[in-house]
């Protein structure tokens, strides 16, 4: 077949099984959109309100489905508006292919209208990127991009295509795309597996720490078998939610700055910390010199670069987690640690997560969402206090049901991501939980939800401040609330209605119960504005620079 570059882009997307693309057109990418028009029955295009929303939607689609998310943008500001979304995906190892178009090859490097070196800009935040100046190399490049995005540790790839390349013609031959397989099991060092088994067998007080890699590798079944064999308590990172069921008796809650006291104390007292697909983020470790200071550290990870990067480990196994856990499970004999498990259970009983139950609060909202969805929704969040409450008070029992920006901490991520998640998983209820500060950043995507009839429920935890920053100002900056008070006249209910969605304001627990139940029944875009106190805080907390064993809460402050 003799096709234009634009037609080749669409044919290659079809090869990869792409059914949805998120984007925003412009002059440089017009040829691609013209080709897409002819295939609108095969690939659905979601026109977002802003390119950043398209990047986050592609990311949310990928996280919810495990497939590659795809977004389009035109040259110049269209391309640069994708950057935050690409960086978000990069930090959390999410497979996204971003396709941008640029000015013609002869105009590159001449400061042409809407020209930007997007490949240069995104080099540090992509697994790889390309600028394709020869149409005969376009199909091969797109296929490589999808393979790279999915191979090994996933991540985003960008392809930039000059406009004349999208118009030029070349011979195109369809290719049957083979599924991307995990790392070759032969690459896993058996000696390292044997060392790991020996370390686990000698441990008296093991603790298992689960990160996002366990979600990405689809290792939940192997992880459950491993936990049962080791007989150890389990904690997780923000990205690891759902890989191990939050309802299991061995689960002790999140680890780190806003982790539970049980997890923080337990990890600080264990003699072996088994780290499964986590990268020792500073929000998890606190003071790295004091992190798990009584323990040997055994790390399983697909990326050798993560070994000894942030925390010095004792030993590790490099490989796809699903296969690593299979190997370890085959070799490991049943362990038993009744005294250690009893001690951790006592911690759980002594240090439960609590909140003020007499008024409408963020934790109440999250718990009520959990009850009404029976724990079976996809929960998406923005970044801040509401994000921590969603991690603490919703019990995730399956992977790919908690979507949040962990590494980059992107305010404005959640609404776009929730649209992508709903497009990828139309049979699942999708709820985006936001703070009012975050919601303001990309609330224009409510118009996208209405335009394309994407029934997401947007819950705004509205405290009229930038809550997490205010919490730090309250605790560490002598209550100097510099630029964190949002005391203006913005009305989210009217705003939702102006964009064609249903808007509901609630101020009490009962009103929220009724509003959320109504939103579920409506099966349409709904915004619920939840008015809470400006000084509600996320507890427990670890002060910056402190050890996680120094976690404190409201009771500790009142007694000090």
**Hey, which residues are catalytic here?**
51, 113-114, 163, 468
**C-alpha triplet 520, 24, 76: angle, nearest 5°:** 140
Q: Residue 397: which residues within 8 A CB-CB, separation 6 or more?
A: 242, 245, 246, 247, 375
Owner of token pair 């802003």 = 50
Tell me phi and psi for residue 526, to 5 degrees: -135, 140
Residue linked to tokens 């923000």: 238
Q: In 3-state terms, what secondary structure has residue 101?
A: strand
Strand partners, 100: 73, 160
- E strand residue ranges, 340-391: 378-381
> Where do we find the tokens 């990326």?
303
Alpha-carbon distance values, 78 to 127, 325, 452 (Å): 21, 43, 21
What are the φ and ψ backbone dihedral angles of 51, each rounded to 5 degrees? -60, -30
For residue 329, the tally of other CB atoms under 10 A from its CB is: 16
Contact 67, 134 (CB under 8 A): no
Exposed, middle or buried, 196 (CB in 10 Å: 0-12/13-18/19+)?
buried
Contact between 139 and 165 (Cβ < 8 Å):
no
Angle at the Cα of 470 from the Cα atoms of 469 and 476, rounded to 5 degrees: 90
Query: Strand pairing partners for 44?
Result: 20
Residue 539 class from Cβ within 10 Å (0-12 exposed, 13-18 middle, 19+ buried)?
buried
The CA-atom distances, in angstroms, between 389 and each of 82, 94, 184, 435, 464 are: 28, 23, 39, 11, 17
In residues, how long is the chain?
A: 560
* Exposed/middle/buried for residue 510 (C-beta within 10 Å: 0-12, 13-18, 19+): exposed
User: Distance between CA atoms of 448 and 452, rounded to whole angstroms?
Assistant: 6
The phi and psi torsions of 441 (rounded to 5 degrees) equal -70, -40
Torsion angles phi and psi, residue 270, rounded to 5: -70, 160
Structure tokens at 16: 């990869």
Place of tokens 């929730």: 418
Map tokens 């240090």 to a residue.
351
């Amino acid at each position: 077949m003799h096709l234009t570059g634009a037609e080749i882009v669409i044919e290659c997307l079809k090869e990869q099984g792409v059914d949805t693309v998120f984007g925003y057109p412009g002059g440089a990418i017009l040829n691609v959109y013209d080709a897409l028009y002819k295939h609108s029955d095969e690939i659905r295009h979601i026109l977002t309100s802003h390119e950043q929303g398209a990047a986050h939607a592609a990311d949310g689609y990928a996280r919810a489905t495990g497939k590659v998310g795809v977004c389009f943008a035109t040259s110049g500001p269209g391309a640069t508006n994708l950057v935050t979304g690409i960086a978000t995906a990069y930090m959390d190892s999410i497979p996204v292919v971003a396709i941008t178009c640029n000015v013609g090859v002869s105009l590159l490097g001449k400061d042409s209208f809407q020209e930007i070196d997007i490949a240069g800009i995104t080099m540090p935040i992509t697994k790889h990127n390309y600028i394709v100046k020869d149409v005969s190399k376009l199909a091969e490049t797109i296929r490589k991009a999808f393979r790279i995005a999915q191979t090994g540790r996933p991540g985003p790839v960008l392809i930039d295509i000059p406009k004349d390349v999208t118009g030029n013609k070349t011979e195109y031959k369809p290719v049957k795309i083979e599924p991307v397989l995990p790392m070759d099991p032969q690459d896993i060092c058996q000696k390292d597996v044997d060392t790991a088994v020996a370390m686990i067998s000698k441990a008296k007080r093991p603790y298992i720490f689960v990160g996002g890699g366990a979600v990405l590798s689809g290792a939940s079944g192997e992880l459950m078998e491993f936990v049962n064999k080791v007989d150890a308590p389990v904690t997780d990172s923000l990205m690891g939610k759902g890989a191990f069921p939050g309802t299991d008796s061995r689960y002790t809650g999140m680890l780190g700055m806003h982790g539970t006291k049980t997890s923080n104390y337990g990890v600080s007292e264990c003699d072996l910390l088994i780290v499964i697909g986590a990268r020792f983020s500073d929000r998890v470790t606190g003071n790295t010199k004091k992190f798990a200071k009584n323990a040997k550290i055994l790390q399983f990870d697909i990326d050798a670069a993560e070994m000894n990067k942030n925390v010095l480990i004792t030993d590790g196994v490099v490989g796809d987690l699903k296969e690593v856990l299979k190997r370890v499970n085959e070799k490991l004999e049943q362990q038993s640690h009744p005294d250690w498990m009893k001690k951790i259970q006592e911690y759980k009983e002594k240090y439960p997560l609590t909140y003020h139950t007499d008024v409408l609060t963020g934790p109440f909202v999250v718990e009520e969402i959990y009850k009404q969805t029976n724990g079976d929704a996809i929960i998406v969040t923005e970044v801040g206090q509401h994000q921590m409450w969603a991690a603490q008070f919703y019990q995730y029992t399956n992977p790919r049901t908690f979507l949040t920006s962990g590494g980059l901490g992107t305010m404005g991520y959640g609404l776009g991501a929730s649209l992508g998640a709903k497009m990828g998983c139309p049979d699942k209820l999708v709820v985006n939980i936001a703070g009012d500060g975050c919601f303001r950043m990309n609330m224009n995507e409510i118009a996208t939800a209405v335009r394309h009839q994407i029934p997401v429920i947007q819950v705004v935890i509205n405290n009229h401040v930038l809550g997490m920053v205010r919490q730090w100002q309250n605790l560490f900056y002598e209550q100097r609330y510099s630029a964190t008070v949002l005391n203006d006249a913005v009305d989210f209910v009217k705003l939702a209605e102006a964009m064609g969605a249903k808007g509901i304001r609630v101020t009490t627990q009962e009103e929220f119960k009724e509003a959320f139940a109504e939103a579920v029944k409506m099966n349409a875009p709904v915004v619920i504005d939840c008015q809470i106190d400006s000084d509600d805080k996320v507890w427990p907390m670890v002060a910056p620079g402190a050890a996680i064993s120094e976690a404190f809460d409201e009771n500790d402050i009142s007694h000090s």
